[in-house]
Amino acid sequence: MDRIINILSLVLGIVSLGYAFYSTHQLTKGMKIGALQHIRFLINRMEEEKGKQPPDSTQWRAMHHTQQDLESLFNNLQKMFSIPDNQAPH
């Protein structure tokens, strides 16, 4: 009887450990994608606001530079997180 309990405990321990690794992986992936989604949202919002300004204005140029900085940040984080283009938010 003790042997059965020990084997059952070992199996449940292995399953629990596997689930812990899986949960951590899913949480980490969600955080990475969430950060990229937020940056993509800011890039898209900046594009909308730029459309309200004449292209030769100081405001448009400032927003354009900020948008380029956000794009660069997005690309760097995507590479750092090893997220392929087909999984990155667009």
* pLDDT tens sequence across 8-58: 999 999 999 999 999 999 999 899 999 999 999 999 999 999 999 999 999
Looking at residue 2, what is its pLDDT? Answer: 82
Sequential DSSP letters for 23-84:
HHHHHHHHHHHHHHHHHHHHHHHHHHHHTTS-TTSHHHHHHHHHHHHHHHHHHHHHHHTT--
Looking at residue 61, what is its pLDDT? Answer: 95
Prediction pTM value: 0.76
Looking at residue 41, what is its pLDDT? Answer: 96
- Assess whether pLDDT exceeds 90 at residue 89: no
